[in-house]
Amino acid sequence: MRTSRVSRDTASVLAALTPRRSSRRAISTTVTPIKQESPLSDASLPSDDYSTTPEPSSNRKRKRPTGTYPTTSPKSLPSSVQPSAASSTAPIPKRARRQPAKQIKAEDGTVTVAPPANWEEMYSVAAAMRKLRTAPVDTMGCETLADTTRTPRDQRFQTLVALMLSSQTKDTVTAVAMQNLQRRLPGGFSLESVLAVEPATLNGMIDKVGFHNNKTKYIKATAEILRDRFAGDIPDSIEGLVSLPGVGPKMAFLTMSAAWGRDEGIGVDVHVHRITNLWGWHKTKNPEETRASLEAWLPKDKWHNINTLLVGLGQTYCPPVGRKCGECRLGVEGLCPSAVIDRKQIKAKREVKIEDEVKAEVEVKTDLTDTVGAGLVETQKSIIKKEETITSDLEDAGR
């Protein structure tokens, strides 16, 4: 329904003359006076300082005040109402998505492999975690089991035998078997002593390792091949090492690195194969495919260390059964796409940590208050004692 112009002008004049309620909007102190003209003319409308009453509208939104208001910074608040540390805690990151290595084909037909996008960050975080917990591979790995008092040739042979014994066997069990060979073999642990010992006696020394019957046959046959074909020393090539019975590519590459100091490939065992697939670096079916995938893009200076790094990680944080994703930084920080984390549990741990920090701060303040109070009491006692001394001196002087 439309209203007449006279009605609108009358309403405008009444709105201008009627005192308005105070609002949040800042109103200018200078008011432009209304011109004295005909009450029905356009000039009789109020000045810009007084807005006309608009027609009601359902879509009109309330405007925010444009003036500035005093604000209180968190630092000026009392300690009792300071924002807690929980408000500044970073949110729990979401699970990362898989970013495997990709093959890129150039215009000239050459194919290059682009590494996973975040592999360097994951590698550095895993290396930092490995420093916090000592794994069995760090103290009882095959590279550490050779008797350093023996000749370099005997040490290389012991390293090869240790790797042969470690197949499907825990490092702790392998270390015990190596100690038995070093202590019980006549003349010490060497190629000659292994050739001279009876198979049954040798089998009794290593009977705790997995598949010890087969490994006894492999070690005896390997000793004879080394004597006849390699002049009593272990081969210095991958082809020669894999030709030995019971020696696969993983053992060959690890032997070349530990015994000869040459990194010619990555030793991929079950831990390396499993964890790199969990990280989403590739999707491989067996350790040989994993080795080929890693060697295509991983820098060569990390070929030797990645085995110890991931084996230790698999022994401490990421075992095959019962993975500890809630304790692993890769899972908590959202870097591992396969992490299974109870986010409520992580949140509860953070809240407990914050409460402990608050309690510790309160205890420190309490101790400080007690210390200051005790100091004031001692000061008051000393002042009272001095006053008593002065008073007694004055009384003696008066007497």
Asked whether the CA dihedral 299, 304, 305, 307 is positive or negative, the reply is positive
Q: Rounded to whole angstroms, what are the CA distances from 357 to 204, 239, 294, 309, 327?
A: 57, 60, 44, 33, 20
Give Cβ neighbours of residue 118 (< 8 Å, ≥ 6 apart): 96, 99, 335
Annotated active-site residue 250? The verdict is: yes
CA distance 19 to 41: 23
CA distance 93 to 97: 12
**Whether 104 contacts 111, CB under 8 Å:** yes
Nearest to 140 by CA among 381, 367, 315, 353: 315
Give Cβ neighbours of residue 156 (< 8 Å, ≥ 6 apart): 146, 233, 234, 259, 260
Q: Which residues pair with 222 in a beta bridge?
A: none
312: number of Cβ within 10 Å: 24
Burial 236-259 (b: 16+ CB within 10 A, else e): eebebbeebebbbbbbbbbbbbbb
CA distance 226 to 245: 11
Asked whether the CA dihedral 85, 88, 92, 93 is positive or negative, the reply is negative
Catalytic residue, chosen from 63, 215, 250, 324, is 250
Report, as residue numbers or ranges, the catalytic residues: 250
